Amino acid sequence: MNATPPTLRARLKSHPLFKGTGTTVGMTVFFIAYFIVLNNPLFPVTVVPATWLDDVIGFHPWSLIPYASLWFYIAICPSFLNDRRQLWAFAAGCAALAGTGLAIFILFPTAAPAPDIDWSLYPLIQFLKETDSAGNACPSLHAAFAVFTALWFARTLPALGAGLVLQFANFVWAGLIVYSTLATKQHVAIDALYGAILGAWIASLNFIVFPSPHGEPALRRPLFTAIIIIKLCALLLWTSETSTALSLALFFTGGALVLYQIFIPNAGELVRVITRFETSAREVWLTLDDGPDPDDTPRILDLLDQHHARATFFLIGQRAARHPALVAAIRARGHEVAHHTHTHPCGTFWCASPTRVRRELDQALAVFTATSPMPPSRFRAPVGFKNLFLAPALAERGLSCIGWSIRSGDTYALSPVTVGARIASKLQPGAIILMHEGPPVLPSVRVTAIATVLETLTQNGYRSTIPPAESLR
């Protein structure tokens, strides 16, 4: 059960000094660095050409308003963050975006072409032109920061209970800021498109490094929105005299974000993945995949009893159907039965259709509930590989996705001693240990490795427990 997310009032009141000084200092440092680079180019400056998009988007003086609103837009985003770690995450993302942009400006200085406009007729825009000349053009950091902030809002607003109207308004605001970079003629389309791609990439990497805090759901929308932005901008660049090879490369880089979320077991933007639990004691959670096994499971149960340990068995539905007595024995001896799909399709689960994902879940659930009225509440994907359609399917069935923080390596270990040493080196309270039973593990390692790990836990003053739902992180 997830903790209740903090209210908007609580978020706005949290860490006021940290938010205020952080935003002010960050912007000040950025502008100092920006103007130093702007006024001291190390290499010849290249003028970025205008394209058909610049002809379509004319000069609009009113666009100075959304252009100037960027700094307010960036500043209010961290005010909605309640968790100090997330504030540091936002700051780290801004720093990475600014640092990447400035590095590009140093190595590849660019400028926007001067349009044939009498700026004296527009005093405010003339002031902008005189203060911030059309240098440091590509990528447009104005566009990059707008997209970066929009994706952070997309991640934060649902936790505040914001409806679709506010979430849509967020992207409209960001879109107007990107549009304004062209409508003020401060940038050309190529600058803005590269800037939007940069902002989407930095935000996505930022979310990988700093997952959403406990109590807030994993949201696929920011990830998919980032990918759409990258692909759309790549297509527009292709129509704007950018080489086909580069446009295709940029287009397909968006897919790498999805592949990372699918194939990296603990990545949590497609599906919320639990990787640890909160505890003040020297406790860990031993989890055992791929059973039940008629040779291994009885011996493992005896070992757990000897060490007064509790474990969670992530069982494969087909095997559980063949050995219902073992499933019953796991429960009877105080351990937890959890879900590891019905057929363990480790090579194809990641690309399975929605129908097949539901079938894998439901067939195994039918097996598990045939011997107990309490269905499993925890799920682990085969090899940790996820699926685009997994999150809603798990939510409909009340299943949470469990990852791990310590991979024992028992499936490729040659000695149980190696497994014990690997786990001992990573022990900490709240760790989730991944181990296996059955044929994937070498006969010389099977079960013996589990015995070694249980002895290692005892020697280090740890015990294995099954954590309650509210402690999962």
Pairing of strands 400-402, 378-379: parallel
Tokens of 199: 């902002």
**Active-site choice (187, 335, 342, 436):** 436
Pairing of strands 110-111, 378-379: unpaired
Tokens of 145: 């920061």
> What is the rounded distance in angstroms from the CA atom of residue 115 to the CA atom of residue 47?
12
Asked if 112 and 137 touch (Cβ cutoff 8 Å), the reply is: yes
> What is the rounded distance in angstroms from the CA atom of residue 399 to the CA atom of residue 436?
21
Q: Is-catalytic flag, 289?
A: yes
Q: Is 20 helix (H, G, I), strand (E, B) or coil?
A: helix
Q: Is 230 helix (H, G, I), strand (E, B) or coil?
A: helix
Backbone angles phi, psi at 86, to 5 degrees: -70, -35
Classify burial at 312, counting beta carbons within 10 Å of its beta carbon; exposed 0-12, middle 13-18, buried 19 or more: buried
**Active-site choice (54, 83, 191, 289):** 289
Chain length of the chain: 473
Q: Is 214 helix (H, G, I), strand (E, B) or coil?
A: coil
Q: Is-catalytic flag, 436?
A: yes
> What is the rounded distance in angstroms from the CA atom of residue 183 to the CA atom of residue 165?
26
Phi-psi region of 182 (alpha: psi -120 to 50; beta: other; left: phi over 0): alpha
Q: Is 336 helix (H, G, I), strand (E, B) or coil?
A: strand
Residues labelled catalytic = 289, 436
